[in-house]
Every structure is written in C-alpha cells, then in structure tokens.
Amino acid sequence: MDYVTLNNGVKMPMEGFGVFQVPDPVQCEQAVLDAIDTGYRLIDTAAAYMNEQAVGAAIAKCGVPREELFITTKLWVQDAGYEAAKKALQTSLDNLGLDYLDLYLIHQPVGDYIGAWRAMEEAYREGKLRAIGVCNFNAARLLDFCESVEMRPAVNQVEIHPFFHQKEAMKIMSDYGVTPEAWGPFAEGKFDIFTNPVLTEIGRSHGKTAAQVALRWNIQRGVVVIPKTVHKDRMEQNFDIWDFSLTQDEMAKIDILDMGHSNIVDHNNPEFIKMLHNLKVHA
C-alpha cells in the first residue's frame, strides 16, 4: 500500500474502501470487517449513506488499533452552515463511536458551505479532525473556494475514472495542493468498464483485470481510490494492484477513453441541485 502526504502533513492511504449504497446495517458492518481483514485501512462513509453506525460497529470489532485506520465521513447539504455543521460533526462522531476523524468532507458544493467550513476549521484546530476537505467541487468552484477560505482543503473527492479524467479540476487541485480522491472509480459500472477492450487488453499483459487496470491508472495519476463491493473476493482483487505499473504507452491508450464529462451526475442541472436540498438525512 502506498500513501499520499496531504497538504497538512497527514499521511492518507492511496486506496480505501467505500460504503456508498450499502444501507443495510448487517451487510455494511460485515463488508467493513471483510475490507479491514483484507488490508484496507481507509474507510469512507457519509452521513447521507445512512450507515455510519454500522461502520462504527465494525471499527469497534475489527481488532485493528484506531491509529492504524483512516476514517472519513461527510457533512450533508442539510447541515451546511456554521452551527449546523458543528452539531452534525458531533452526531457523526457519536454514530461512529470515535473521538476524532481522519478526514471530514463537505459532501456537496451546495448551501452555506463556507459557514460549514469555518466550523470544520475550528474542529480541526481542536483535534477532532486530522484533515478537512470537500467533494464534487469542479475546477472553478474549487479555485474560488481555495481563494476564499483560511485553510485550503486537503482533499477534493470527485468522480474520476477512465471515461472522465477531470483534467481541468486535476490541474487546479495540483496548483492549490489539494489531493484528488476518486469516487466511482469504476464509473458505477457504466460503459461496460469491466469488459472494456482497451482496459482488458492492458490487463492481459499484466495478468490483471480491467477493474484492476482502472484502479492502477488512477493511482499512477496521484488519485486516491475508494472502490466499493460487498463481496470479499472482489475486495481482495481490488486490493491486488500494488505489484504492477502501467507504462506510458498504456496510460496514453486510456487517455483516449476520456469523454470530458460525467454521465452520472450534473451539478449544473437545477433539478439535481434542488434534489440535493430536498434530501434530508435527519428530522
């Protein structure tokens, strides 16, 4: 396992385990236990995933010292704002059964995220958060944010996969010292990614699958990945990406796959933004 050093000196695993769309508490707890047993140390959840308590139960049972784990959760749109964010953070800590988080992220660039950021900066100084960051900030919004806040985000978690390279956002992240982290590194199964001929051919030359090639491609671009599966054999396969490297020619072949836009979410769609505001994760 490789690590990246964030802009505040904290070391973060380059590969983690995500629990998006695993709301069942029994299944989620077992999946996290299996992931930790496989070797994952970065676990990524969110208030909006409605499974923080299950993740916390797995953390308590896993037998791995807390300091060896890197736990991430996220602030939902409903709790954007200074006072609301302070309360939401404590709720997440309580749900997870933790005294601190390794990374706390603003889940969406919607609502009073500047007010929320001020609360997160305070919690960071108090030692409740080892690092703070954002999600889904495009290039322009991230640049504006970095120019507007006292503490620049350590991480920007965005959609990045072989069919959407986020080149403009990646440049801004590099310019401002923000580490990119990929949600949906398998494009949520779209575009026949697991049988894509380019990825499959590259994988064949290394004795790897198309999925492993997709993860390795992101890693070599300096992008943290958080693949999700509830099947332990696939967890093990996704984790088996540290014994090979893609050549420059292979990276160039994958570069051609970039469509330059998302086919999963559109943060410029008013209906999508309205949906984010209307989605409540608590009363």
Active-site amino acid positions: 49
Amino acid found at 28? C
Tell how far CA 263 is from the center of its chain: 18
DSSP type of residue 15: B
Write the CA distances from 236 to 4, 45, 169, 209, 246, integer angstroms. Answer: 21, 20, 30, 12, 20
Nearest CA-CA partner of 52 in 20, 82, 84, 16:
20
Question: 3-class SS at 210?
Answer: helix
Burial of 110 (0-12, 13-18, 19+ CB in 10 A): middle
Please report how many Cα atoms fall inside a 13 Å half-sphere around the Cα of residue 103, on the Cβ side. 33
Beta bridge partners of 101: 129
